[in-house]
Amino acid sequence: MKKSIIANWKSNKTLSEVAYWLNNFPNNEESQKALASLEIILAPPYPFLALAKEIIMERQLPIKLAVQDLSGFGSGAYTGEVAAFNLQDLDVQYAILGHSERRRFLTETSQLIADKVAEALKFQIKPILCLDKPYFTEQARFLSSDSMSACSLAYEPVAAIGSGQAEEAGNLLAVRQELAPLYEAKTLIYGGSVNADNVGAYLKVCDGVLLGGASLELKNFVDLLYVASESLKI
Ligand code: PGA
């Protein structure tokens, strides 16, 4: 199984910065071989999805697309919302849902997040469900059994996000054990201050990592990918 490296750009970057990042992402025989053990997933801001899709196709980049959120409603009269329905034809394969920044700044509830998960699944978009400990039990109560088994779980301790204070990789086994009886999902991703120095440790105990800050600068990100892929050989 490939390990997932998920780049969440949050509300960063302009159109030209997105074009630069993707047009300069390495794509030669050497890089393709080196990165073959990784599933690289990019979540740009919504306005840049179509451009990202175009460059990824044109350059045949080994990058899959994710959204950072989607609507808990279907298509229709929901001004400002982007429905999973709208994403058809954009090659979006994943949706990061329930990120703690959305709970905190946009008052997302576990019910709304569960609705978003269900909407994503209607359109074959795989949810990457973000969870911190206070919501492990509560969020599970709102999900149908089908939703649960279809989600990848991303353990995202709020204190670790953007703080440089990553959670010890050694704690993740206990997290996995805590989540196992609550959720049917088997995939566990870790997010929170992941960087090139610690990514190898997380990939030993998790199925992938979710990056914010460390995904923004192309060089940093590519360096991290190489470190991640080397770490899997050991
Ligand atoms: P960070 O963000 O890598 O900047 O800590 C992680 C996240 O929000 O998942």
Cβ-contact 62, 37 below 8 angstroms? no
Cβ-contact 131, 93 below 8 angstroms? no
**Is residue 47's pLDDT more than 80?**
yes
**Atom number of ligand 1 nearest to Cα 162:** 5
**Atom number of ligand 1 nearest to Cα 164:** 5
CATH (domain of 124): 3.20.20.70
Q: What's the residue count for the chain?
A: 234
Which two structure tokens, joined as six digits, stand for 173? Answer: 């086994």
CB of 45 sitting under 6 A from ligand 1: no
- Give me the mean pLDDT over the 142-160 stretch: 95
Nearest to 214 by CA among 52, 64, 5: 5
Range of the structural domain that residue 107 is part of: 3-231
pLDDT per position as a tens digit, 165-217: 999 999 999 999 999 999 987 899 999 999 999 999 999 999 999 999 999 99
CB of 194 sitting under 6 A from ligand 1: yes
Distance 170 CA to ligand 1 centre (A): 19
Distance 76 CA to ligand 1 centre (A): 32
Q: Is 99 a catalytic residue?
A: yes
Cβ-contact 173, 200 below 8 angstroms? no
CB of 157 sitting under 6 A from ligand 1: no
* pLDDT of amino acid 19: 98
* pLDDT of amino acid 20: 98
pLDDT per position as a tens digit, 79-91: 999 999 999 999 9
Radius of gyration for the chain, computed over Cα atoms and rounded to the nearest angstrom: 17
3-state helix, strand, coil in the chain (%, to 5): 45, 20, 35
* pLDDT of amino acid 51: 98
* pLDDT of amino acid 234: 78
The count of structural domains within the chain is 1
